[in-house]
Chain A
Amino acid sequence: MKKNKTESLTAEKGLFTIALTLNGRPAEFRVKPNEFLLDALRAHGWKGTKKGCDTGDCGSCAVMFNGKPELACMIPAVTAHGSVVGTIEGVGTVDRPHPIQEAFVEAGGVQCGFCIPGMVISAKHLLENVPDPSEAEIKKALDGNLCRCTGYVKQIEAVKIASKKLRTRRASK
């Protein structure tokens, strides 16, 4: 993020052009004045981030925003200019899944799957900062990601499994 001067963007023909880093690559979006980052991401093909409430209360829109999990539905798209954004697509793929994604599958933490992208974003951030979290710490880190299918039991288990996988991987390096 450039920090050496004050920037400003002006809309042209009713649209802002924003430049951001998305999943590690430079990206340019044209966004409407009233658009939020969630809609902008989905409109540009990034469908993994979901809209569950659009009011910041369910967490299914969670993305990495300048190093923290944040609610994409609450971020005006224009303010994402110059930001570093990470979505679920950047975490892992079916061919090369992240250990957290594998852990969610193994533990049975995925039912309908709608809350999972947001939950993986939150869980990944937790494990990168607290490698061996307690159950209370896990619950607190995930308390913004609502799930109605699983009752969270196997999702918390998944985070514990992922924590072990990551620590083992780190230890063997």
Chain B
Amino acid sequence: MNNLRKCVFPDNLNAALTALGDRKSLPFALAGGTLSGKNIGPETVTLVDLKRLPLAAIKTTAAGLSIGALATFDEIENSRVVKGWAGGVLCAAAAKCSSQLVRNMATIGGNIARPNAFNVFPPLLLALDAKVTVAWKGVAKTFPLAGLYDGTLKKIPGRDCLITGIILPAASKGLKCAFEKFARTESSWESYITLAMCAEVKKGVIKSARIGIGALSAVPVLAPKAAAALTGETPGEAAGKAAALAGDLAGMRISPKSVEFKKEVAAALLRRFVVSLA
């Protein structure tokens, strides 16, 4: 941060995007700062402080659940709206982030902006089939979360564009979710494996499933093989055993030291989830 010469405090989105659009001023935008704050390099001359932007609203809409990008983990965890959505899985996930002081500062937008294995929201939002709204001067685009990591978005959030919000599709009554962060300690940033498991159960049968895996790769991945194995099955031990994640994990680069262990833990956690659907 040695070359910082200007700091802008925009109080509306347009002003923020204008500041980011001024490429010559070498700008960088900071939200909570818990991931990026210590890594602002000499290439940044203008800091755009996003904290005054009115982008933290959490509300239900016709489309589903809308969470502003600047909503903090603490706000999400304590939001009555979010608690009532899909069994409060987003609250459970928010609670698992690091520590209270980090949860007070860190935002959901910052958490998904860049690939990072241990971030809590990417695998969960992937499993929930969330969409992300990104804006830059004169443009606002909405696309699936994966677009942040697979090259769809040809821009860098924070540098030349801003994530403004997350949209989650309306949750049906049959949607059951669980979030597991399997780590050494409670207030951990790292984990051995993070699993976001969602299943739509109708008339005692799993209509569909989406499983998001985190901590094993920089970018969250879905487990389509396990999800397919669950579709059409009756919740219970048998279905749970059949849907072990080994098939999906096989394609991932996991250190040989821990791959067997992570497969076992993932299998156990997924099986328990499937049993709980009954």
Interface residues of A (CB under 8 A from B): 1, 3-11, 16, 33-34, 36, 55-57, 59, 62, 66, 68-71, 74-76, 78-79, 81-82, 122, 140-145
Q: Judging by beta carbons under 8 Å apart, are B40 and A76 in contact?
A: yes
Q: Judging by beta carbons under 8 Å apart, are B47 and A79 in contact?
A: yes
Q: Judging by beta carbons under 8 Å apart, are B6 and A70 in contact?
A: no
Q: Judging by beta carbons under 8 Å apart, are B5 and A144 in contact?
A: no
Known: A70-B105, A78-B47, A79-B51. A33 touches B99 (CB 8 A): no
Complex Cα–Cα for A16 and B49 (A)? 15
Q: Judging by beta carbons under 8 Å apart, are B52 and A144 in contact?
A: no
Q: Which residues of A contact B101 (CB under 8 A)?
A: 56, 59, 62, 69-71, 122, 144-145
Complex Cα–Cα for A141 and B101 (A)? 8
B34, CB-defined interface residue at 8 Å: yes
- Can you list 17 A-B pairs with a CB-CB distance of less than 8 A? A5-B11, A6-B15, A8-B7, A33-B3, A34-B1, A55-B38, A56-B38, A74-B33, A74-B38, A76-B7, A78-B4, A79-B7, A79-B30, A79-B51, A122-B100, A140-B100, A144-B102
Complex Cα–Cα for A1 and B155 (A)? 32
A90 to chain B, nearest CB (A): 18
A138 to chain B, nearest CB (A): 11
Scoring B residues 177 to 218 as 1 if CB is less than 8 Å from chain A, else 0, what string do you get?
Answer: 000000000110000000000000000000000000000000
Known: A55-B38, A122-B101. A7 touches B9 (CB 8 A): yes
Q: Which residues of A contact B1 (CB under 8 A)?
A: 33-34, 76
Q: Judging by beta carbons under 8 Å apart, are B4 and A34 in contact?
A: yes
Known: A79-B30, A79-B47. A4 touches B38 (CB 8 A): no
Interface of chain B, helix or strand or loop or mixed? mixed
Of all A-B residue pairs in the complex, the 9 with the closest CB atoms, nearest first, are A144-B99, A144-B101, A33-B4, A34-B1, A6-B15, A7-B9, A8-B8, A78-B7, A68-B104
Scoring B residues 1 to 44 as 1 if CB is less than 8 Å from chain A, else 0, what string do you get?
Answer: 11111111111100100000000000000100110011010000
B116, CB-defined interface residue at 8 Å: no
Q: Which residues of A contact B3 (CB under 8 A)?
A: 33
Q: Judging by beta carbons under 8 Å apart, are A33 and B37 in contact?
A: no
**Looking across the interface, which residue of chain A has its beta carbon closest to that of B10?**
A6
B60, CB-defined interface residue at 8 Å: no
Q: Which residues of B contact A122 (CB under 8 A)?
A: 100-101
Q: Which residues of A contact B98 (CB under 8 A)?
A: 144
A59: which of B49, B51, B99 is its contact (CB, 8 Å)?
Answer: B99
Complex Cα–Cα for A143 and B186 (A)? 9
A47 to chain B, nearest CB (A): 20
Q: Judging by beta carbons under 8 Å apart, are A75 and B37 in contact?
A: yes
B74, CB-defined interface residue at 8 Å: yes
Complex Cα–Cα for A3 and B105 (A)? 19
**Looking across the interface, which residue of chain A has its beta carbon closest to that of B99?**
A144
A68 to chain B, nearest CB (A): 4
B5: which of A3, A5, A10 is its contact (CB, 8 Å)?
Answer: A10
Q: Judging by beta carbons under 8 Å apart, are A11 and B102 in contact?
A: no
Q: Which residues of A contact B105 (CB under 8 A)?
A: 68, 70-71, 74
Complex Cα–Cα for A143 and B5 (A)? 36
**Looking across the interface, which residue of chain B has its beta carbon closest to that of A4?**
B11
B216 to chain A, nearest CB (A): 23
Q: Which residues of A contact B30 (CB under 8 A)?
A: 76, 79
Known: A75-B33, A76-B30. A6 touches B9 (CB 8 A): yes
Known: A68-B104, A143-B99. A56 touches B34 (CB 8 A): yes
Complex Cα–Cα for A140 and B51 (A)? 25
B137 to chain A, nearest CB (A): 15
Scoring B residues 94 to 122 as 1 if CB is less than 8 Å from chain A, else 0, what string do you get?
Answer: 01001111101100000000000000000
Interface centre among B3, B11, B12 (most CB of A within 10 A): B11
B152 to chain A, nearest CB (A): 30
Q: Which residues of A contact B5 (CB under 8 A)?
A: 10-11, 33
A148 to chain B, nearest CB (A): 14
